[in-house]
Amino acid sequence: MDPRIYNAPTKNTWCAGCGDFAILRALKLALAEQVIAPHEVLVVSGIGCGSKLPDYMNVNGFMTIHGRPLPVATGAALANPELKVVVVNGDGDSYGIGGNHFLHTCRRNPNITHIVENNQVYGLTKGQYSPTSDKGYVTTTSPDGSMEMALNPLAVALAAGSTFVARGFAGDPKQMAQLIVAGMQHNGYALIDVLQPCVTFNRVNTYDWYRSRIYKLDEMDETYDPSSSEAAWEKAHEWEERIPTGILYNREGIPTYEDQVIQLRDNSPLKGTLSLWDDPRPEQYESLKEQFV
Amino acid sequence: MTEKTVNDLSIMIGGDAGQGVESSGAGFCLALARTGLQLFALQDYRSQICGGHNFYEIRISDRPLYSHREPIHVLIALTPESVALHLDSIAPGGAVILPEKFEIDEAPLKERGISVDSLPLMKIAEEHGNRLMLNTAALAATAALTGFPLEYMEQVIRENFGKKSAELADTNVAVARAAHELAMERFGEDFPFRIEPPKKATKRMLMNGNEAIALGALAGGCRFVSAYPMTPGTSIIEFLSALPHEYGVVAKHAEDEIAAVCMALGASFTGARAMTPTSGGGFSLMVEAVGLAGMTEVPLVLVDAQRGGPSTGLPTRTEQSDLLFTIHASQGEFPRIVTAPTTIEECFEAGWRAFNLADKYQCPVIIMTDTFLASSLRTLEMDAIDFGRVVIDRGATVKSTDVDGESNGYLRFRFSDDGISPRALPGRGTATITAASDEHDETGHITEDSDNRVRMMNKRMQKLETARAEMKSPILYGPKDADLTLVCWGSTFGACREAVDEINAEGGSSANVLRIIDLWPMREEEVREALESCKRRVLVEQNYTAQLGKLIRMTTGIEMDDTLTKFDGRPFSPPEIKQRLGLEAGSGNEVGPKDLQRADQEYVVRRLR
Ligand SMILES: Cc1ncc(C[n+]2csc(CCOP(=O)(O)OP(=O)(O)O)c2C)c(N)n1
Ligand SMILES: [Mg+2]
């Protein structure tokens, strides 16, 4: 499939050199490779620079509010499991204001692929520190350097029960596309945290900064076993000198949330609603009155 | 022998939380209702699982009831505290039943001709079963006192306990029989307030407002519900979760109310009918997403079952203090619909109608109730819940196949005269759908263009005007041209209705009730006309700031003549309304219940200026 089918006629407003361009490209490549038509996918985002992504695509897109794309996507995925649901949002959106939803989505395991544009900064609000900013990072709201430990999203995801955990780099859209394909093929929640340089506000974590540290897990160690939670846990804690990219953890065979919902076996809320539209069948509820007698 | 009153009494069971007051009260209700008697039952409990005083009040009659009512005629006091708390609410000639000898001051009761009987009920429970069966013994004794045949109770006991084990049912029945026999020996047929099963047992349901909303929603096609538990909204998701799987209702207990509302919104975005029920605190958390639904024109049904505020407030008690909040909640301006059913029948209608309104006007619809309406039980005629009347109207929705091949031509937010843009569903045709919480153009893509902004605002806000034509007109209950009009919304209608019935029956002055169900957008012209023709308008509201009064003044310019507010978390009763209006309390009610006396001292009757 030609990835240009996902192009939208809208004008892009990201800064030149922004890592988000590569993420947009990688998502298009991944969809094309899987031959998913634009109307079959729903991309849900929050608010932030990165969350503008659905505006630049020809797919079903829902740009929601800051921090809330995961529950919106969960509702959509539960109501219509036929939709391929992808969430794209920033590190602030995902791990800060939306942190609670992130935790619970990991353990809930809905069939959602979650791409986090992690630039370690708040881009849209012009450069404040984010939950993933390294300790000591100086910004307008942390003039003396941030005093909090950086959140380790991959370790949190593992601890919270996520069944697929990966890291990508915006300097490598090909690898990223592979990760997105793998995440979408994974049955369940898939977290893909993407190191995404913000060329305007983050002068520390630049392309060079990342390039000098990252290595590809599968290239480095052909025997790396992504089904091992111990190995993943160890790799998730590598950061300062060496930063692994690729699939850290992939555990198949765990039922998704949707798999366990008995009501979804024959029908979906959407189909249920649509069939009633044509035929409301009031008599089907009559027997319920007996429990009140 | 005193004169007997038949089928016009209230029974109260009071005890500690954890003593099973609610479940045994509900069982007794079922036994009474099955004989064809009409009931209104109110539970009153505190936000704690064990300890603290709870009570369950059952009002019994041959005619339909719309409110609880003082005084009570039988108090079953499982703890001494019950007596102290309800001392002033007991009618002369009434009875207090104690399960063992408590140290209480009987003099003030005896003075008013109230009998106090301690029966060795705890002993009976222990002898024939165990201490937990004290409730059963107490209710059987009450049946004996009032002449209510034990067989109806036995049947319910067998059903309720038989589910667990036949033996448990047998022991409970044995306890009931022993208590009944003992009480018959003690009371004979002397007690003046009697219960007599009607000659013909009309089949009726015992239902509360939450259950009616849930049934309405189900029949209206709701197939997704998400919530975070919060009293008194919780039982809506509990009811829908407990449905047989075949109905296909997916119910999601979310991590918080923000997730709950967002899940419902996501489900609705795909085209499923989705709802999120909560109470005021949860609604506070949902507010930002209500604006998202307004901006992205996603139909969304919310229920705010109000409780006493602010903050955690009175978690288990009733109040109507969220009205102006729900009407204004969330930043910016967007259309929304706020409707407040006043009866359980109207809760059922609101349950399905809300989905039609949400789909037709593609906006949030908020159903408002309160603890009193959400959780009080009333007997309902079987046809009061009429599934055949339910209409499913999805409004200007483009059915899936219609947008096939229109990928590039379909405009989700197309400008239109009535403000409504036909809605296609994502994934149901080849058109792609974009929605954004940012201002957007007809395609749904983001723009800050000023012309577009003005047209989009006009388009969205026009929906409010389009919807207004479909909103319910204010409804007048009682004689036209009455001397006095009670103006109310929501659950207070029940007490207002009975109060005016009594005022009119007593002669002297005449009264009626004007209630407004659809509060936003309001039928302003009709409300104005209806109010202008009233002689004396008295607002009756369960809050401090008289919010409906403010809303009416804001939309119509009309001021009320007087205002009765109440914010102690206890629902208005008909005698209280009459008393505070300065009208004589009804017969049989000479003793001013404590609530009423206090009402005079503590509440301000304010004029709205
Ligand atoms: C409730 C709420 N609070 C604050 C904001 C302002 N805001 C918009 S984007 C943003 C942070 C963006 O950071 P991130 O999610 O990392 O996205 P980025 O811009 O870096 O891609 C904030 C705080 C908002 N839109 N909504
Ligand atoms: Mg960021």
Residue A282 domain flag: no
Q: What is the CATH number of the domain that holds A260?
A: 3.40.50.970
Examine the pLDDT at B584 and tell me if it is beyond 60.
Answer: no
Residue type, position A268, single letter: S
Query: CB of B248 within 8 Å of any CB in chain A?
Result: yes
Please name every residue paired with A63 in a beta bridge, in sequence order, or none if there are none: A45, B436
Parallel/antiparallel/unpaired status of strands A60-63 and B434-436: parallel
Query: CB of A263 within 8 Å of any CB in chain B?
Result: yes
Residue B588 pLDDT:
34
Q: How confident is the model at residue B2 (pLDDT cuts 50, 70, 90)?
A: low
The tokens 């009423």 sit on which residue?
B596
Domain that holds residue A103: 3-266
Q: How confident is the model at residue A277 (pLDDT cuts 50, 70, 90)?
A: confident
Task: Tell me the pLDDT of chain B averaged across its residues.
Answer: 92
Q: How confident is the model at residue B430 (pLDDT cuts 50, 70, 90)?
A: confident
Q: What class is the B207-389 domain?
A: alpha beta
Identify which of B360, B302, B359, B361 has the alpha carbon closest to the alpha carbon of residue B327: B302
For B587, the enclosing helix (H) or strand (E) is none
Query: CB of A227 within 8 Å of any CB in chain B?
Result: no
Q: How confident is the model at residue B407 (pLDDT cuts 50, 70, 90)?
A: low
Query: CB of A283 within 8 Å of any CB in chain B?
Result: yes
For ligand 1, atom 8, the nearest C-alpha belongs to A48
Q: Where is average pLDDT lowest: B17-26, B347-356, B518-527?
A: B17-26
Among B255, B265, B394, beta carbon nearest to A75? B265
For ligand 1, atom 1, the nearest C-alpha belongs to A66
Largest Cα–Cα separation, chain B? 88
Q: Where is average pLDDT lowest: A27-41, B451-465, B503-517, B578-592?
A: B578-592
Q: How confident is the model at residue B595 (pLDDT cuts 50, 70, 90)?
A: very low
- In angstroms, the CA A187 to CA A109 distance is 9
Contacting B residues, span 378-407, partner chain A, CB-CB under 8 Å: 380, 382, 385, 387-388, 390-392, 394, 400, 407
Residue A286 domain flag: no
First-to-last C-alpha distance (Å) of chain A: 60
Largest Cα–Cα separation, chain A? 73
pLDDT digits (tens, 9 = 90+) for A242-273: 999 999 999 999 999 999 999 999 999 999 99
Q: How many CB atoms lie within 10 A of CB B509?
A: 14
**Cβ pair B36, B7 in contact under 8 A:** no
Identify which of B238, B346, B224, B218 has the alpha carbon closest to the alpha carbon of residue B276: B224
Residue A291 domain flag: no
For ligand 1, atom 11, the nearest C-alpha belongs to A122
**Cβ pair A140, A122 in contact under 8 A:** no
Q: Say whether A49 sits in a helix, a strand or coil.
A: coil
Contacting A residues, span 132-161, partner chain B, CB-CB under 8 Å: none
ipTM of the complex: 0.98
Identify which of B296, B548, B287, B328 has the alpha carbon closest to the alpha carbon of residue B421: B296
- In angstroms, the CA B515 to CA B477 distance is 8
Parallel/antiparallel/unpaired status of strands A121-122 and A128-129: antiparallel
Alpha carbon of B435 to ligand 2 centroid (Å): 22
Q: Which atom of ligand 1 is found nearest the CA of A51?
A: 21
- Residues near B397 by Cβ (< 8 Å), separated by ≥ 6? B271, B359, B422, B423, B424, B425
Examine the pLDDT at B402 and tell me if it is beyond 80.
Answer: no
Examine the pLDDT at A141 and tell me if it is beyond 90.
Answer: yes
Distances (CA, A) of B81 to B78, B97, B609: 8, 13, 43
Identify which of B72, B172, B78, B73 has the alpha carbon closest to the alpha carbon of residue B118: B78
The tokens 């003793």 sit on which residue?
B591
For ligand 1, atom 24, the nearest C-alpha belongs to A66
pLDDT digits (tens, 9 = 90+) for A162-189: 999 999 999 999 999 999 999 999 999 9
- In angstroms, the CA B505 to CA A138 distance is 78
Determine whether the interchain pair A71/B407 forms a contact, defined as Cβ–Cβ distance below 8 Å.
no
- Residues B582-600 have a mean pLDDT of 42
Residue A65 pLDDT:
98
Query: CB of A118 within 8 Å of any CB in chain B?
Result: no
**Cβ pair B515, B466 in contact under 8 A:** no
pLDDT digits (tens, 9 = 90+) for B131-167: 999 999 999 999 999 999 999 999 999 999 999 999 9
For B193, the enclosing helix (H) or strand (E) is strand B193-194
- In angstroms, the CA A81 to CA A96 distance is 28
Probe residue for ligand 1, chosen from A49, A66, A196 as the CB with the greatest number of ligand atoms within 8 Å? A66
Among B247, B390, B445, beta carbon nearest to A10? B445
CA-CA-CA-CA dihedral for B323, B325, B331, B337, to nearest 10: -20
The tokens 């002669």 sit on which residue?
B507
Residue A74 domain flag: yes
Determine whether the interchain pair A288/B288 forms a contact, defined as Cβ–Cβ distance below 8 Å.
no
CATH number listed for the domain at residues B475-581: 3.40.50.920
Query: CB of B411 within 8 Å of any CB in chain A?
Result: no
Residue B606 pLDDT:
35
Examine the pLDDT at B600 and tell me if it is beyond 60.
Answer: no
Percent of chain A as helix, strand, coil, to the nearest 5? 40, 20, 40
CATH number listed for the domain at residues B5-202: 3.40.920.10
Parallel/antiparallel/unpaired status of strands B337-339 and B5-6: unpaired
- In angstroms, the CA B364 to CA A46 distance is 20
- Residues near A88 by Cβ (< 8 Å), separated by ≥ 6? A23, A27, A43, A44, A45, A50, A51, A53, A54, A69, A115, A117
Q: What pTM was estimated for this model as a whole?
A: 0.95
Residue A288 domain flag: no
pLDDT digits (tens, 9 = 90+) for A195-220: 999 999 999 999 999 999 999 999 99
- In angstroms, the CA B480 to CA B476 distance is 8
pLDDT digits (tens, 9 = 90+) for A87-98: 999 999 999 999
- Residues of B within 8 A of A44 (CB-CB) are 266
Q: How many CB atoms lie within 10 A of CB A135?
A: 12
- Residues B395-409 have a mean pLDDT of 68
Contacting B residues, span 279-318, partner chain A, CB-CB under 8 Å: 288-289, 291-292, 296
Among A73, A101, A289, beta carbon nearest to B385? A289
- Residues of A within 8 A of B265 (CB-CB) are 64, 72, 75
Residue A278 pLDDT:
84
**Cβ pair B371, B307 in contact under 8 A:** yes
Q: How confident is the model at residue B61 (pLDDT cuts 50, 70, 90)?
A: very high
Determine whether the interchain pair B262/A71 forms a contact, defined as Cβ–Cβ distance below 8 Å.
yes
Considering its fold, how many domains does chain A have in total? 1
To the nearest 10 degrees (0 to 180), the angle between helices B166-187 and B121-128 is: 150
DSSP 8-state symbol, B511: E
The reply to whether B5-202 and B207-389 are identical in fold is no
Alpha carbon of A122 to ligand 1 centroid (Å): 6
Residue A166 domain flag: yes
For ligand 1, atom 22, the nearest C-alpha belongs to A125
The tokens 């259950």 sit on which residue?
B211
For A245, the enclosing helix (H) or strand (E) is strand A243-250
Q: Say whether B92 sits in a helix, a strand or coil.
A: strand
Residue B46 pLDDT:
72
Q: Which two tokens stand for residue B56?
A: 């369950």
Q: For residue A89, which ligand has an atom nearest its CA?
A: 1
Which residues contact ligand 1 via a Cβ below 6 A? A 47-50, 66, 90-93, 117, 119, 121-125, 130
Residue B586 pLDDT:
41
First-to-last C-alpha distance (Å) of chain B: 55
**Cβ pair B535, B483 in contact under 8 A:** yes
Q: Where is average pLDDT lowest: A118-132, A137-151, B35-49, B62-76?
A: B35-49
- Residues of B within 8 A of A277 (CB-CB) are 221, 392, 394
Probe residue for ligand 1, chosen from A97, A101, A122, A201 as the CB with the greatest number of ligand atoms within 8 Å? A122
Q: Where is average pLDDT lowest: A166-175, B9-18, B322-331, B566-575?
A: B9-18
For ligand 1, atom 26, the nearest C-alpha belongs to A66
Q: For residue A51, which ligand has an atom nearest its CA?
A: 1
Q: How close, in Å, is residue A70 to chain B by CA atoms?
A: 8
